[in-house]
Every structure is written in C-alpha cells, then in structure tokens.
Structure 1
Amino acid sequence: MIRVEVVLAWPERAASRLLELAEGATVADAIAAAAIEGSDACPAVALHGVVARGDQRLHDGDRVELLRPLLADPKDNRRRRAKAR
C-alpha cells in the first residue's frame, strides 16, 4: 500500500484527501478514489508541482494537485499592466 494526498484549491478554500492505494496505482486512480467535487473540471494535474499524466504511477508520499483552469490569459494581463504604465 502507498499513501498519497489529492488536493484541489480555490481562492477561498481547499479540499484535500489522504488515500491509501495499492502499489502500482496511477494519478487517475487517485483522482477517482478521492472523488473531490469539482475535480472533473480540472484540465490538468501535477505531482509535487510538476505537470503529470493520468497514467503516471504514484509512489508513497506523493501529492497529486488538481489544477484549475486559468481565469485570465497571462499575456492579456501583461499587456494591460504594460499599457497602464
């Protein structure tokens, strides 16, 4: 058995689940087992801050981070800040 944490954060709150999964479990297995509300709307996932694939195998102590969609285009934000100067 391996222990992993699945996390989804919003600006005002966060949800976290500690799971015990079988050896050989994948990122997709952890997300399904965590069943965090809103996880289906997350376009990407990371392991310890590094973008990961759903079929990637997990190791004991891994932290699976569900990444929410961007609310604003970073390029547009940069242009707005430059224009304001």
Structure 2
Amino acid sequence: MIEVEVAYATPEKQRILSLSVKDGTSVYEAVLNSGILAEFPEIELANTDMGIFGKVVKKPKEEALQAGDRVELYRPLKIDPKQARLNRASKKG
C-alpha cells in the first residue's frame, strides 16, 4: 500500500484527503476511492481535468500513482487569464 492525497478546492471550501491505495492504482481510481465526490457532488468526473502536483495527467485511468503523490482536480476557468489581465489593466487606466 502507498499513501497519496486527493485535493479539490472551490472559492468557499478546500479539501485534501489522504488515503492508502494499492501500488499501481490509477489517478482516476484514487479519486473514486477518496470520497471527494461525496463532499463535492458538483464534480463531473468525466469532464474534470486531473493532475499530480500541478502537472495535468492526460490519461488518468492509465497513469499509476507513486507514494506521496497529490492528485488535484481542476475546475474549469471562468475567464481566460489573458483576458483577465487585460480587464485589470484597463481598469487601472
């Protein structure tokens, strides 16, 4: 067994759940086993990007975890970061 974490955050609430999984467990399986979906029922796992320590995982059902990994679930952006910077710059005048 290896120790991993699963993390998700909204503006109102952040959670990092620790769990033990079998060696060879995929990113996707760890998310399912973590219980995070019960705390955040709004997560649509099929449409949610996942990563390990800030690096997006292209195939979460195939990517095996290593001891100490933190799986992160990413919310979609509400606005393009470049557009947000332009908006802030235009407000400053």
TM-score class, shorter-chain normalisation, is 0.7 to 0.9
Please report the TM-score for the alignment, with normalisation by the length of structure 2: 0.78
C-alpha separation between the residues in 1 aligned to 2:43 and 2:63?
A: 17
Q: Which stretch shifts more, 33-42 or 68-77?
A: 33-42
Q: Across the two proteins, how many residue pairs are aligned to each other?
A: 85
Q: CA deviation at 1:73?
A: 1.8
Structure 1 residues 32-51: aligned runs within 5 Å: 32-36=32-36, 37=40, 38-40=42-44, 43-51=48-56
Matching of residue 79 in structure 1 with residue 61 in structure 2: no
| Percent identity for Structure 1 against Structure 2 | 36
Alignment of 1:1-85 (within 5 A): 1-36=1-36, 37=40, 38-40=42-44, 43-53=48-58, 54=60, 55-84=62-91, 85=93
Unaligned runs of 5+ in 2: none
SS at match of 1:58: coil
TM-score (normalizing by structure 1) = 0.84
